[in-house]
Amino acid sequence: SQQGEEDPQALSIQEGENATMNCSYKTSINNLQWYRQNSGRGLVHLILIRSNEREKHSGRLRVTLDTSKKSSSLLITASRAADTASYFCAGSTGGGNKLTFGTGTQLKVEL
């Protein structure tokens, strides 16, 4: 399988704490994207980092990319209960923007 791996599989933290999720992938990518999914719903695009970028910020999100290690991390700072969701990384390969998704991290932020 070409699917990427994410760890941890599940993460439970208190509101206000930071949450870090890691993603490793197997093939070369054009870019790497992070998505959020609430239970039983569609995916929401969070952030895209290109293969020639090392770090990117968007609000409370910080993404890093290490192409030499084929890994990426997503940091959510000052987490809120509303951040509770599953988070997936997805590598874009080839033409046509084809995405290969990681296994996902289920984040639970408790009050």
> Where on the chain is the footprint of another protein (CB under 8 A)?
3, 33, 35, 40-45, 48, 88, 96-104, 106
Nearest approach, Cβ of residue 103 and another protein (Å): 5
Tell me whether residue 30 or residue 67 sits nearer to another protein (CB atom): 30
Least separation in angstroms between residue 17's CB and another protein is 23
CA pair distance 6, 12, nearest whole angstrom: 15
Shortest distance (Å) from residue 58 CB to another protein = 13
CB of 16 to another protein, least distance (A): 26
Q: Considering beta carbons, is residue 26 or 45 the nearer one to another protein? A: 45
Q: How far apart are CA 78 and CA 102, in angstroms?
A: 24
Ordered DSSP codes for 59-98: TTEEEEEETTTTEEEEEE-S--GGG-EEEEEEEEETGGGE
Give φ, ψ of 87 to 5 degrees.
-120, 130
For residues 57 and 78, which CB has a smaller minimum distance to another protein in the complex?
57
- Count the Cβ atoms, other than its own, within 10 Å of residue 88: 23
